[in-house]
Amino acid sequence: MGNWLDRLRGKAKPAPLPVVAAAAPARASTAQGVAAWKPGIDVDVEFWRLLQGEPGERADTATPPERACLQDVTSRAASAGVAALVPRVPAVVPQVLQTLRDASRPMSVLARQLSQDPVLVAGVLKLARSPFHGLQQPVASLEQALLVVGQDGLRQMLAAIAFRPIINLQAGPATARGAPRLWDQTERCGLACQVLSPAAGVSAFETFLAAILHSVGSVVVLRLLDQASPGTTGASSEACRTLGAQARTLACRIGREWSFPEPVIRAVAERESPSAHATRTALGDLVRACDALSKLRVLVDAQWVAPDEPTLGLAGHETMQRCFRLLDAAAD
């Protein structure tokens, strides 16, 4: 797995990430306070309610049946080899990855290689036509699309294609219900990474890898729910927070087993246990923002959350507002 990620990144080792003090003020010069933005609701709780399809009473405290189910899930999650619940990521188009490492190769070579796979062609064209790029004229060829998306965009697309079968697993009722929503959120998180990463000075690809890793952890939790006691988790805030925390814990474990870059694992771990980290990374801040914004977009589109500014917490954050609108257009 480590070799696959190295090939996809186009380099052997990740560059060191900038670290900021936990109490440092928001970076006014980067994305007008991306690191300081905080939604007006508990996005993780509402998103887990959506994944479970549980709009009923939203109590704070878990019921006895919920606690029994959560204890079962926690016990299963602590068992060895939980990463076996999802298959390992396959290598994606080795020839394409080889070409990506060689900056001297013309784009026409890459276009010929990609043209052999209709799924990759469709992915490149969809990415090039994204509202993020704001093209005035339609993309007329695969070569033009490749010039638009660039190497980082192409790496991100290849990663999405590799991970999609894992995140979109159809197993028991909890996974079948939640996985499609989860993938929708993951794709929109990828676009948020492209929009917000330049101002934050962080790699969009590394941010997207962290988002994908988090989604894989969530899929494992959904599969554990299928193995536990279906229909007993409910929608209490306590239960949803516990499931979200389990997803992050499992994501870090799976990331280490699969040899993900350490900065990516750390970015997920910062959300898992913020108090355990004396310092924050810029990557961790960006992962939090992209994850929360994409979840909010899915919640609003599902009419789970009202699209009013006080609830979303976007007032006064122009960059976040713009990205939120782009995530809506991305669903069209």
Give Cβ neighbours of residue 104 (< 8 Å, ≥ 6 apart): none
pLDDT at 58: 72
The phi, psi pair for 55, rounded to 5°, reads -85, 0
pLDDT at 331: 56
136 to 139, 148, 195, 325, 326: CA distances (angstroms): 9, 12, 18, 18, 16
CATH 1.10.3210.10 fits 2-10+28-329, yes or no: yes
What pLDDT tens digit does each residue of the chain (332 aa) get?
A: 444 445 445 444 434 434 433 333 434 445 446 777 889 889 999 999 999 887 655 788 888 888 888 888 888 888 767 666 776 654 443 455 455 556 666 667 767 767 777 767 777 777 777 666 666 667 767 777 777 777 667 777 767 776 777 776 667 888 888 888 998 999 899 888 888 888 788 888 788 888 988 998 998 899 888 888 655 666 788 989 999 999 999 999 888 887 788 998 999 998 765 555 457 888 998 999 999 999 999 999 998 888 877 888 888 888 888 889 888 865 55
pLDDT value of position 205: 79
Residue appearing with tokens 């989604």: 215
**CB-based contact 125:145 (threshold 8 Å):** yes
- Return the structure tokens found at 295: 């979840």
Residues 6+ apart with CB under 8 A from 195: 132, 322, 323, 326
CA dist., res. 226 & res. 33, Å (int): 40
Residue 45's H or E segment, with its range, is helix 43-52
Per domain, the residue ranges of the chain are 2-10+28-329
Helix, strand, coil proportions of the chain in percent (round to 5)? 65, 0, 35
